[in-house]
Amino acid sequence: MNRRLLTLFSRVLELPDDYLWNNVQSHGSPTGEGYFRHALFRPVGKTTSEKSKGLRMHGHTDFGLTTLLFSVPISCLQIWGRDEQWYYVPYRPGALVVNIGETLEIVSGGHFKATRHRVYRPPDDQLEQERLSLVLFNSSVGDLRMTPAMESPLLQREGFIEEQGVFKEFQAIMKQGVPVPTNAQWREVQIAEATDPTDTERNRIGADQIMLDGKLMQHREYFGVKVILPV
């Protein structure tokens, strides 16, 4: 399925069908083509829920190319809409949810947007239900620097789209001639710096959070790249 999706994305970029699969998708790294995670989440206690303000995972974008999730009936996954509001992803029996990753956003010069999403408390009628999460994260080549595919006729003709997201910040340092991180560096620093929603010391304004245009945002900086995402 991931290869078929990458074929479609390659065609949008007007590149050979196997361009992303052959040049960006990881095959021989420690993570192979990606990694599969399955996890059973049990109901969260009142104290933990209050401390985390209902969050199970902060707003973020995935590193890598794509993330494939089985649609599940317990609503926890939310996406950030164009109107800057959070929305639960609706359940569709037998469906796959596809998140675009940061590598794909950067390779496409911003034409594909990394999906901003978070994990939040389910609706009241599902609070006491267990949730099974089945996710496939598709990795990108570790030592590949995260830059646009300039051989793309689409990028040559239309240029970049820098209206939002991680590509805008990568483009800012590329314009300064600063080397951008590799996929492996980008992945590893985000894993190392991740915080739990119950961490009240880091998850506050003045630490890792800021108010921006009336919205509470998570603010980090890695390798000179600013990462600002809705909480």
Tell me the per-residue pLDDT of 74-126, one tens digit each, with 9 for 90 and over: 989 999 999 999 999 999 999 999 999 999 999 999 999 999 999 999 998 99
Residue with tokens 């990568």: 170
- 101 touches 11 (CB < 8 A): no
Q: What is the mean pLDDT of residues 27-37?
A: 74
Position 30 scores a pLDDT of 65
Instruction: State how far the alpha carbon of 183 is from the alpha carbons of 47, 101, 106, in Å.
Output: 37, 11, 11
Instruction: Please report which confidence band the pLDDT of residue 32 belongs to, taking 50, 70 and 90 as the band edges.
Output: low
In three-state secondary structure terms, 217 is: strand
- 97 touches 143 (CB < 8 A): no
Q: How far apart are CA 48 and CA 125, in angstroms?
A: 19
- 102 touches 166 (CB < 8 A): yes
- 127 touches 48 (CB < 8 A): no
Residues 54-73: tens digit of each pLDDT: 999 999 999 899 999 999 99
Structural domains present in the chain = 2-230 (2.60.120)
* Full-model pTM: 0.92
> Considering only CA atoms, which of 50, 24, 34 is closest in space to residue 104?
24
Strand segments (E) across 65-142: 66-70, 77-80, 86-88, 96-100, 117-120, 131-138
Instruction: Please report which confidence band the pLDDT of residue 29 belongs to, taking 50, 70 and 90 as the band edges.
Output: low
